[in-house]
Copies of this chain bind each other. A is one copy, B any other.
Amino acid sequence: MSIGTDINFFFSPKSIAVVGASPTPGKPSHVILENLKRIGYPGATYLVNPNYASIDGSKCYSSLNEIQDEIDVALFVLPAPTVIEIMERTENVKGAIIVSAGFKETGYAGTKLEEELKKIGERKGIRIIGPNCLGIYDAVSRIDTFFTPVERVRRPKRGGLSILTQSGSFAELIMDEMASKAIGVARIVSYGNRVDVGETDCLNFLMDDEATKVVVIYMESVDDGRRFVEVASRCTKKKPVVVVKVGKREAGVHAARSHTGAISGRYEIYKAAFKKAGIVEVDGFEGLKDACKVLNTYELVDGKKVLIVTDGGGVGVSMADACENFGLEVRELTEETRKRLSSKLLGFSATGNPIDLTGSVTDEDYVVALEEGLRDAFDVVIVTVLWGAPEITEGLADKLKEVRDSYNKPLLICTPSSEFTLRMAQCFEKNGMPVFFTPESAARAAAVLAGHWR
């Protein structure tokens, strides 16, 4: 089997069949039909259910074989034993997405079913995503096989992030988060129990996928450790790969086993492998969320030295703590830079790192602090704007953008999340500067950019 290339059709299928299509609103298979329509899937959609002649005005086939077409993707939304029966008889299917649960994650009988499923797939040359998964959300090719109604989990717009995950719930969580932050995604794949297609095949596809700028992986376990490291090592030369590894601790390991039947194994081995492959590892959902936000705007940097500019001393202290905590270097300014800053700023300001402009700050003070501070060699900048100072204005965003662009350093904003500051946050985001709402969150994001320098 030529590695990777054979799963490309999942991301540009000419036809999708929904096996187990239901006319009942709210039923998973009906939600999927609605979502394929809503997203505007441009290929042929076939409905399969022997109990109906038609559903919502569309013809309903009694079996897959009855369809006079090669089916690129057959979606199975049926009890596990029925899935096996149908797969066994199927003649015209290239790939299957098995949404159904009831396999390995449920114990002995389910494990037997899953082994059978695997064998059928191998024998018939049908590539399988799942079982126990949500399948594919693809904003590029307009595919949405997630059975969650859009009213409950919003879909993000099109963008450059692609997400690979064993966990469907994690996919939904991050999907919803991206939608609410207007961060765009390319492809999201939830492969659940991963009987066949997993992160390595997908990563191999995404590596050369022009729509994908950044790859994000939620991992309980790895499908093929050696090949994963090999593929990831090549991929990270082209685009950033971020991983959140869960099932690190004993309880998580147990939970992962009963979740997707995954043996999540010793965390230290994973950690070393990620490092070797040039993968940026982040911690938990919060780490992933911040990584998505910052990588939506900025590329990785070539070092780990962070400059902090603040209008609140205490927030600056917290930020410095958080930055060091996440492995960044909060280096002092050079003596010359301190002198220049002292001559240009108010007497109250502290010309260290953080540069503390205090609650008496003006827009111009921020510019001075950045222009002078950035003469020293920093890799990334965090600016806190608490908006307590009466003299800072909405125009600050434009000014900060100008400095950032002329120095070409990623600049992250940290502000509180009140009604007023959220409104102001839009000024920064419109100017392409990502905004974070806690010192820890900004520090985590900056640490992502510093990647493996930490």
> In the complex, what residues of B have CB within 8 A of residue A166's CB?
314
Counting CB contacts under 8 A, is A348 at the interface? yes
Bound CA–CA A416/B109 (angstroms)? 33
Bound CA–CA A172/B359 (angstroms)? 11
Shortest A335–chain B CB gap in Å is 15
> In the complex, what residues of B have CB within 8 A of residue A310's CB?
169
Please tell me which one of the listed residues B176, B249, B321 contacts residue A321 in the complex, with CB atoms under 8 A apart: B249
Tell me if A165 and B252 are in contact (CB < 8 A). no
> In the complex, what residues of B have CB within 8 A of residue A284's CB?
318, 321-322, 438-440
Q: Give the oligomeric copy count.
A: 2
Give the total of A residues in contact with B, Cβ under 8 Å: 89
Using a CB-CB cutoff of 8 Å, which residues 355-390 of chain A contact chain B? 356, 358-360, 386-388, 390
Residue of B nearest to A218 (CB): B314
Counting CB contacts under 8 A, is A106 at the interface? yes
Counting CB contacts under 8 A, is A260 at the interface? yes
> In the complex, what residues of B have CB within 8 A of residue A386's CB?
153, 169, 172-173
> In the complex, what residues of B have CB within 8 A of residue A315's CB?
167, 169-170, 173, 285
Counting CB contacts under 8 A, is A419 at the interface? yes
Counting CB contacts under 8 A, is A441 at the interface? yes
Residue of B nearest to A28 (CB): B390
Instruction: Give the top 5 A-B pairs by smallest Cβ distance, nearest first.
Output: A167-B314, A169-B312, A259-B313, A251-B330, A258-B350
**Chain A to chain B contacts (Cβ below 8 Å), 18 pairs:** A101-B348, A101-B360, A153-B386, A153-B388, A154-B419, A169-B312, A176-B421, A247-B317, A249-B325, A251-B321, A252-B324, A255-B354, A255-B356, A259-B316, A260-B313, A284-B440, A285-B440, A286-B438
A residues with a Cβ closer than 8 A to B are 26-28, 31, 101-102, 105-106, 147-149, 151-154, 165-173, 176-177, 179-180, 218, 220, 246-252, 254-256, 258-260, 284-286, 289, 308, 310-318, 320-325, 330, 332, 347-348, 350, 352-354, 356, 358-360, 386-388, 390, 416-421, 438-441
